[in-house]
Amino acid sequence: EAGVAQSPRYKIIEKRQSVAFWCNPISGHATLYWYQQILGQGPKLLIQFQNNGVVDDSQLPKDRFSAERLKGVDSTLKIQPAKLEDSAVYLCASSRPGGTGELFFGEGSRLTVL
Amino acid sequence: AQSVTQLDSHVSVSEGTPVLLRCNYSSSYSPSLFWYVQHPNKGLQLLLKYTSAATLVKGINGFEAEFKKSETSFHLTKPSAHMSDAAEYFCVVSSLNDYKLSFGAGTTVTVRA
């Protein structure tokens, strides 16, 4: 089966600019996650979707970050305006319904904010 | 609430020698536990998982881990390290009631020739 697809793989922007990342999960996976991984740290959950509904967005900085999954399939994560501390790898993951919690990860989108 | 502590931020081994990565967890519920590996510029890949079946879990690439409830540990081992094992390893705990995952800070493994 095809894996989790993410784009772009790399993005460099100036602070205060905006950026958007796209994720297409594995077909049939109802749950989709966005994680932020800062260099040297473990991934931190930003938002979790179940189909097109938000399950957990408690750690999403809502003043600048937004995410949507309108049709319950692919998802977009947006940052506007970006700050220097947003430099990180943004990982998308998905899991199958009724699974054991195993996540399938994409290769990530590396953001550098200058 | 649940959390994971990886006891070593960096482990260095010689090729052909055993690898031990230590992980302790806390969880209010019966946990699922995972080890993921991340090679440079790659996404995370599942090595193995424990989901309340056998306490000794075998994974890919010769890795295995043992769930010890009394010690709240889930240490990862491999009898003989290979150069390709150089990567970042994450211990992860999940509760079956909401599938929320908590990641450890990671352990960087370097393998010396």
* pLDDT tens digits for range B54-88: 889 999 999 999 999 999 999 999 999 999 999 99
Determine the average pLDDT of the residues in A54-78.
93
Q: Specify the 3-state DSSP secondary structure of B13.
A: strand
Give the residue with greater pLDDT, A112 vs A100: A112
Q: Record the tokens describing residue A1, joined without a space.
A: 């089966």
Give the model's confidence band at B8: pLDDT under 50 very low, under 70 low, under 90 confident, else very high. very high
Amino acid at A105: F
Distance CA B85, CA B82 (A): 5
Instruction: Sort out which chain B residues have CB atoms less than 8 A from A48's CB and list them.
Output: 100
Average of pLDDT values for B89-97? 84
Cα–Cα dist B96/B87, whole Å? 28
Using 50, 70 and 90 to split pLDDT, how confident is the model at B98? Answer: low
CB-based contact B33:B67 (threshold 8 Å): yes
What mean pLDDT, rounded, does chain A reach? 92
Q: What is the predicted pLDDT for the residue at A41?
A: 86
**Is residue B11 a contact partner of residue B111, using CB atoms and an 8 Å limit?**
no
What percentage of chain A has pLDDT greater than the value 90?
77
Instruction: State the average pLDDT over residues B29-56.
Output: 88
Q: Judge whether residue A97 has pLDDT over 80.
A: no
Residues of A in contact with B51 (CB under 8 A): 100-101
User: What are the residues of chain A with a beta carbon less than 8 Å away from any beta carbon of chain B?
Assistant: 4, 31, 40-45, 48, 55-56, 91, 93, 95, 99-108, 110
CA distance, residue B19 to nearest chain A CA (Å): 20
Structure tokens at B79: 């009898």
Q: In B, what residues contact A, Cβ < 8 A?
A: 32, 34, 36, 41-46, 49, 51, 90, 94, 96, 98-101, 103-106
Nearest to residue A98, comparing CAs of B47, B97, B3? Answer: B97
Question: CB under 8 Å, gap of 24 or more: what pairs does A5-8 form?
Answer: A5/A106, A6/A90, A6/A91, A6/A92, A6/A106, A6/A107, A6/A108, A6/A109, A7/A109, A8/A109
CA distances A16 to A26, A83, B28, Å, are: 33, 6, 41
| C-alpha R_g of chain A | 13
User: B97 pLDDT exceeds 70?
Assistant: no
Under 8 Å between Cβ of B22 and B30: no
Mean pLDDT score, A58-80: 94
Range in A6-10, A50-54, A73-77, B108-112 the model is least confident about: A50-54
Q: How far is B73 from chain A (nearest CA, A)?
A: 19
- Check pLDDT > 70 for residue A99: no
Given pLDDT bands bounded at 50, 70 and 90, which one contains residue A100?
Answer: low
Of A63-72, B2-11, B23-32, give the lowest mean pLDDT range.
B23-32
Instruction: State how far Cα A27 lies from the chain centre.
Output: 17
